[in-house]
Structures are given as C-alpha cells and as structure tokens.
Amino acid sequence: MAMKRVAIEFGMGTDLRGEDYTKAAIRALKDALWHNSLTIGPALGFSGDAMIVDILIGVAQPEAVDRDAVAAILPYGTARVECVEGGLDIEKDDGSGRTVMANAAVIVSFDLAIGAQA
C-alpha cells in the first residue's frame, strides 16, 4: 500500500458522572470529527469509503473502551481504533467516583496505489 496521510484532527471528551471510558472516547472522536469537513478525497477522485481512518484514543483505562462502538461513529471510511494509556481521571472531592477524560487523534489517509478506483 502507498498510504498518504492527508489530515489529522484532535478532540477531547469527558464522562462527568458515569466513569464510562467508551462514552468519553466517543465524545472525543466526535469533537475531532464534527469540527471539519474534508474535501481532499473528492478533489483527488476518492470516495469517502476509500478513507483509512486511524483513531488513537488516550484514556486512563484503555482496556475499558469498546473499540467497535468508537469505530461505529464514522460516517464512512475504514476505521482502525487503537487505545492507549492517557487522558485523565479526576477524583470527585467527596470520594464518590471520578470524571474521566479521553483524548482522540484522528488520522485520515488514502491508499494512493489504488488511485480513484475506490
């Protein structure tokens, strides 16, 4: 494959009360995605489905993220989700739990070897 990176976006998401790392990860992904509109694919003759989207999620408990649920947010393209240790957990002052924060990096690439065939 002749992969070419064409865009990178970043986002942040939280779950204030539920301590749900997947919810925070999805919100971080949406934060990154919903603030842009990529036009480079069509300009190069690619369809949206030809996009390869690498999603890197940073949370304090990466194993707690449902990667399929995160990938399902994409409107098109092929998602590859990786979760790593990162983000931030903030303990509540009364000891009743924590707020969780996730960071997302979204990297969009195209396989230039297939050209506009996609």
51-62 pLDDT, tens digit per residue, is: 999 999 999 999
Structural domain boundaries, residue 36:
3-117
C-alpha pair distances (Å), 38 with each of 21, 31, 34, 42, 55: 27, 15, 11, 9, 16
Q: How far is CA 31 from the centre of its chain?
A: 9
Which CATH number do you get for residue 76? 3.30.1330.20
pLDDT digits over 97-115, tens only? 999 999 999 999 998 877 5
Domain count, the chain: 1
State the residue for tokens 């993220």: 65
What pTM did the predictor assign? Answer: 0.90
3-state secondary structure of 82: strand
